[in-house]
Structure 1
Amino acid sequence: MTTSPPPAITATGLRRSFGDHVVLDGIDLNVPKGTVFALLGANGAGKTTTVKILSTLIRADGGSARIAGHDLVAEPDAVRAAIGVTGQFSAVDNLLTGQENLILMADLHHLGRAAGRRRATELLEQFDLAEAGGKAVSTYSGGMRRRLDLAMTLVGSPQVIFLDEPTTGLDPRSRRGMWQIVRDLVAGGVTILLTTQYLEEADELADRIAVLDHGKIVALGTADELKRRISGGHVLLRFAELCDLETAARAVGQVSRDSDALALRVPHDGSLRSLKALINRLDENAVAVDSLSVHTPDLDDVFLALTGNPKNEKVTT
Structure 2
Amino acid sequence: MTELAISATGLRKSYGDKTVLDGVDIAVPQGTVFALLGPNGAGKTTAVKILSTLISADDGQARIAGHQLGAGAAESQAVRRAIGVTGQFSAVDGLITGEENMLLMADLHHLSKREGREVAAELLARFDLTEAASKPASTYSGGMKRRLDIAMTLVGSPRIIFLDEPTTGLDPRSRHNMWQIIRELVADGVTVFLTTQYLEEADELADNIAVLNGGRIVAEGSAAELKRLVPGGHVRLRFTDPASYQSAVSLFEEASRDDDSLTLRIPSDGGQRQLRAFLDQLDTAAIEAEELTVHTPDLDDVFFALTEHGEPEHVSP
Q: After the TM superposition, which parts of structure 1 deviate over 2 Å for at least 4 consecutive aligned residues?
A: none
Partner secondary structure for residue 38 of structure 1: strand
Give how far 1:309 is off: 9.2
Give how far 1:252 is off: 2.3
Give how far 1:214 is off: 1.3
**Cα gap change, 1:309/1:88 in structure 2, threshold over 3 Å: closer, same or farther?**
farther
Give how far 1:308 is off: 2.9
State the match for 1:33 in structure 2: 30
Matches within 5 A, 1:1-317: 4=1, 6-74=3-71, 75-308=75-308
Give how far 1:250 is off: 1.4
Give how far 1:37 is off: 0.3
Give how far 1:245 is off: 1.1
Give how far 1:123 is off: 0.3
Q: TM-score, normalised by structure 1?
A: 0.95
Partner secondary structure for residue 178 of structure 2: helix
The worse-fitting range, judged by mean Cα deviation, of 5-14 and 113-122 is 5-14
Give how far 1:91 is off: 0.5
The worse-fitting range, judged by mean Cα deviation, of 300-309 and 112-121 is 300-309
**Cα gap change, 1:309/1:228 in structure 2, threshold over 3 Å: closer, same or farther?**
closer
Distance in 2 (CA, whole Å) between partners of 1:217 and 1:263 is 39
Distance in 2 (CA, whole Å) between partners of 1:250 and 1:308 is 38
Q: How many residues get paired?
A: 307
Percent of residue pairs identical: 66
Query: Per-residue displacement from partner, 1:253-296 (whole Å, max 9, x unpaired)?
Result: 31000111111111111101111110111111111211111110
Give how far 1:11 is off: 0.2
AA matched with 2:26? L
Tell me if structure 2 keeps the 8 A contact 1:242–1:259: no
Give how far 1:173 is off: 0.4
Give how far 1:109 is off: 0.2
AA matched with 2:226? L
Give how far 1:163 is off: 0.2
Give how far 1:158 is off: 0.4
**Cα gap change, 1:159/1:23 in structure 2, threshold over 3 Å: closer, same or farther?**
same
Partner secondary structure for residue 103 of structure 1: helix
Tell me if structure 2 keeps the 8 A contact 1:93–1:137: yes
Tell me if structure 2 keeps the 8 A contact 1:252–1:281: no
Runs of at least 5 residues in structure 1 that lack an aligned partner in the other structure: 311-317
The worse-fitting range, judged by mean Cα deviation, of 287-296 and 98-107 is 287-296
Distance in 1 (CA, whole Å) between partners of 2:49 and 2:308 is 23
